[in-house]
Amino acid sequence: MSSSPSTESPRLVLYHQTIHHNGKFVSIKPLTQTGVTHVYIAAIHLNDPPENITLNDHHPDDPRYEELWQEVEYVQGIEKPITVMGMLGGAAKGSYEKLERNFEPYYAVLSTLIRKRSLQGLDLDVEEPTKLSTIQKLITRLKADFGSTFIITLAPVMPALLPRSPRLTSLTYRLLHPELPASESSIVRALCQARFLKSHKHLSGFNHFELEASDAGKLVEWYNVQFYCGWGDASNTRFYEALVTAGWNPRKLVLGVVTNPGNGAGHVELEKLQDVVKTLATKYGNQFGGVMGWEYFNAVREKDASRAESMQRPIELPWMWAFDLAHVMGKLDVTNYEEAEREAYTQGLPSRAGSSTPNPTSQSHPHPPDPAPASTNATIQAQNPFAQLIASLPSAPPPPPQEQQPRPPQTPQNEASTQQLVDMGAERAEAIAALEAMEGNVDAAAALLFGD
């Protein structure tokens, strides 16, 4: 019997896709000593025919995964359990298209896997254009079938949680904070609707503001936000805080990073990452969503890499990367770091031996939007297509919009622009509000109202 899943923040999440490495089974048991709260078993793929569901390249019941499922049961059942979830999708496209095309048969095999392996939640890593209605249906169905304690998370790239224009930041903030007093401005009221407040272009296609404002969005526990591969920067707090400025509750924002330079562009060395995480944890306290690492098997501390180089032999201690992050997040009940480090180190070592099953070849998290060199974060930041946008955002949540400013009178040019949008299908109040937000630019207002 697995324990009740954890949703408390801050969380420490690790994706686990590479189940075997260099002919050896990669054990998750060492993570029980590290403060890790959640492990995601990745990646589940839906295929044709529906019964051909796979975990990476093989059926989840393949004998190569027997030891994995035994360890899942073990870490769920210990005194301080780890919550174990599945991850659906990733860079290998097709799973969500199949659910969109013919939901029931594909959902049936997915739900069977969840039940059979006692997975305590599902991460929706949507990296293919998908209708919002499909995601809402999947979220709602999972909660209905598996109960209120079943955890549902998403893994968007960072720009998916930003408004398309920085001028809309005060509106998205209002949208995501319905507890604020209603605006007295008819323009603000007309525009403060999720269907107008589009996300930046990203991998999933659907509008995350519209999802979050919907009933299904209330069932999403948090977002594992990808701040790497050219989609963001975790070497400082600015990108994370830009999302809070846009209205997102920091409790629902988990800072996603790569654990090794080989896992994608934008890797942040652990010492620097610890500084960033400590700053966020101090600022937001238990409202800080936490940290996510892609992925577990090759997570590396620079001091271990240096030691391995000097000894001219590999040192594989991936669980220690998590241990050091948990330490700065205050998730380890230790008074002597060095002593606790030695204990975590030695308790992890015996679990490294295992089977000789080959390493899976499929990959899950995204490639950069454009080819990016393996370089420093400064280079990645300079090349990041969203850097200019982030630079334009304030570093704190904006004040409520001015309520008493009178609406400018409609000039003949404004009236013509309004009528043009009405002819395209907008309501008159919506057209006026959109033109106001876009400073009279008809094309921008049309994009706001109707999308590209």
Nearest to 239 by CA among 223, 256, 252: 256
Q: Same domain, yes or no, for 356 and 309? A: yes
Q: Same domain, yes or no, for 45 and 185? A: yes
Q: Same domain, yes or no, for 304 and 444? A: no
User: Looking at the chain, how many residues does it have?
Assistant: 452
Within a domain: 208: yes
Within a domain: 73: yes
Helix (H) or strand (E) holding 101: helix 95-101
Within a domain: 340: yes
Fill in the DSSP letter of residue 294: E
Residue 106 to residues 113, 140, 191, 195, Cα–Cα distance (Å)? 11, 16, 38, 29
Within a domain: 291: yes
Per-residue pLDDT at 354 exceeds 90: no
How far is Cα 77 from Cα 202, in angstroms, rounded to an integer?
Answer: 38
Average pLDDT taken over every residue of the chain: 84
Which of 362, 388, 403 lies at the terminal end of a domain, its last residue? 403
Q: Same domain, yes or no, for 380 and 427? A: no
Which domain CATH number covers 342?
3.20.20.80
Q: Same domain, yes or no, for 396 and 419? A: no
Fill in the DSSP letter of residue 191: H
User: Strands 54-55, 38-45: parallel, antiparallel or unpaired by DSSP?
Assistant: antiparallel
Per-residue pLDDT at 372 exceeds 50: no
Within a domain: 3: no
Within a domain: 5: no
Put residue 233 in one of left, alpha, beta given phi > 0 → left and psi -120 to 50 → alpha: beta
Within a domain: 135: yes
Q: Same domain, yes or no, for 362 and 440? A: no
Q: What is the pTM of this model?
A: 0.82
How far is Cα 310 from Cα 224, in angstroms, rounded to an integer?
Answer: 35
Residue 402 burial (C-beta neighbours within 10 Å; 0-12, 13-18, 19+): exposed
Which domain CATH number covers 434?
1.10.8
User: Per residue in 117-140, pLDDT tens?
Assistant: 999 999 999 999 999 999 999 999
Which pLDDT does position 451 carry in this prediction?
Answer: 60
Q: Same domain, yes or no, for 30 and 70? A: yes
Fill in the DSSP letter of residue 358: P
User: Per residue in 395-418, pLDDT tens?
Assistant: 555 444 443 334 445 566 778 888
Residue 202 CB coordination number (10 Å): 23
Q: Same domain, yes or no, for 153 and 281? A: yes
Within a domain: 4: no
Which of 403, 420, 436 lies at the terminal end of a domain, its last residue? 403
Q: Same domain, yes or no, for 263 and 167? A: yes
Model confidence at 432, in pLDDT bands (50, 70, 90)? confident
Range of the domain at 416: 406-452
Which pLDDT does position 5 carry in this prediction?
Answer: 83
Which pLDDT does position 139 carry in this prediction?
Answer: 99
Cα 165 to the center of its chain, rounded Å:
21
- Tally the domains of the chain: 2
Four-point Cα dihedral 402, 406, 410, 415, nearest 10: 30
Which pLDDT does position 444 carry in this prediction?
Answer: 75
Q: Same domain, yes or no, for 273 and 418? A: no
Q: What DSSP letter does each residue of 418-432 carry, written as one string?
A: HHHHHHTT--HHHHH
Q: Same domain, yes or no, for 351 and 240? A: yes
User: Per residue in 255-290, pLDDT tens?
Assistant: 999 999 999 999 999 999 999 999 999 999 999 999
Which of 362, 381, 403 lies at the terminal end of a domain, its last residue? 403
User: Per residue in 141-200, pLDDT tens?
Assistant: 999 999 999 999 999 999 999 998 887 888 999 999 999 998 877 777 778 888 778 888
Least confident of 48-57, 83-92, 404-413: 404-413
Selected residue with higher pLDDT from 368 and 198: 198
Give the type of residue at 414.
Answer: N
Q: Token digits for 421? A: 């949008």
Give the type of residue at 317.
Answer: L
Q: Same domain, yes or no, for 144 and 117? A: yes
